[in-house]
């Protein structure tokens, strides 16, 4: 996960600098991780609510367990302001 986020940031930085953006407009590693965690949490929470309403219980339980594992892996999510889930 950390390797993927680092690779994403590296590629994003290259593209943005290639478009003439200055360092102040390029997200930091912390910005990227925050969007990954908070954005992922928002999307998965929204999807879980939908799945619970339309899918069989075992499938909903599977997605619940995935979301729980994500939260356990990112227990520091509380340091960021969690926003309303977005698509």
Q: What residues contact 41, with CB distance under 8 A and at least 6 apart?
A: 67, 70, 71, 74, 77, 82, 85
pLDDT, greater one: 80 or 68 = 68
**What pLDDT was estimated at residue 82?**
65
pLDDT (tens digit per residue) in 3-61: 999 999 999 999 999 999 998 899 999 999 988 988 888 888 888 989 999 999 999 99
What pLDDT was estimated at residue 55?
Answer: 95
> Closest Cα partner for 11 from 22, 30, 1, 26?
26
Number of C-beta neighbours around residue 46 at 10 A? 14
Question: Could you tell me the pTM of the whole model?
Answer: 0.76
């Amino acid at each position: 996960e950390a390797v993927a986020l680092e690779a994403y940031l590296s590629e994003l930085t290259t593209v943005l600098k290639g478009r003439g953006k200055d360092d102040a407009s390029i997200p930091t590693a912390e910005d990227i991780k925050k969007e990954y965690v908070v954005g992922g949490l928002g999307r998965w929470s929204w999807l879980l609510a939908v799945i619970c309403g339309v899918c069989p219980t075992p499938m909903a339980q599977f997605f619940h367990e995935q979301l729980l594992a994500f939260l356990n892996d990112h227990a520091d999510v509380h340091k960021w302001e969690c926003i309303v889930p977005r698509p």
